[in-house]
Amino acid sequence: MSAAPEAVMREWFQQVWNERRAEAIDRLMAPDAVVHGLGAAPISGPTAFKPFHQTLCAAFDKLNVEVVQTVTEGNRVTALCRVTGRHVGGALGGPATGRSVDFWGTTIGRIENGQIVEGWNTFDFLTMYQQIGWVPTPVVG
């Protein structure tokens, strides 16, 4: 019997992101999976996802994705996540700043046979870039 969608999603964030285990990507993501919202074009499959994973792991130490809440409907699970870390590497295309980040995002995953087959992501990367100082925060008021 396959793992429940919520369990797969929680395992994804724990092993792939918090424990930085790239080999878990192959186990938890279907070979023909499609991931939306992490770049200009969808990412197709584990092989194409690994460079994205490697880039974020190189850019941030102490990266932690806390799954705060989930909602499951059938084979789809939505995870509300809080992301924290410290910007220590130039992998994002600019110099490391040493600044901490703390931002939120949501992932909706479709799970089949214990693997993610489709994912939609809306993470607040603008806030992340503001926190590392690459984008100015507008003055309100």
Tokens of 72: 């499951």
Mean pLDDT over 120-135 rounds to: 96
* pLDDT tens digit sequence for 28-65: 999 999 999 999 999 999 999 999 999 999 999 989 99
Q: For position 105, what pLDDT does the model report?
A: 98
Q: Does 1 score more than 70 pLDDT?
A: no
Beta strands in the chain (DSSP E): 29-36, 43-44, 60-73, 76-87, 100-112, 115-123
Tokens of 2: 């396959």
Distance CA 88, CA 97 (A): 6
- 15 burial via Cβ count (<10 Å: 0-12, 13-18, 19+): middle
Mean pLDDT over 113-141 rounds to: 93
What is the set of domains in the chain, with CATH numbers? Answer: 5-131 (3.10.450.50)
Distance CA 71, CA 127 (A): 24
Q: pTM value? A: 0.94
Q: For position 137, what pLDDT does the model report?
A: 86
* pLDDT tens digit sequence for 56-111: 999 999 899 999 999 999 999 999 999 999 999 999 989 999 999 999 999 999 99
Q: For position 138, what pLDDT does the model report?
A: 85
Mean pLDDT, rounded, of the chain: 96
Mean pLDDT over 110-139 rounds to: 95
More confident residue, 136 or 140: 136
Q: Give the DSSP per-residue string, 119-135.
A: EEEEE-HHHHHHHTTSS
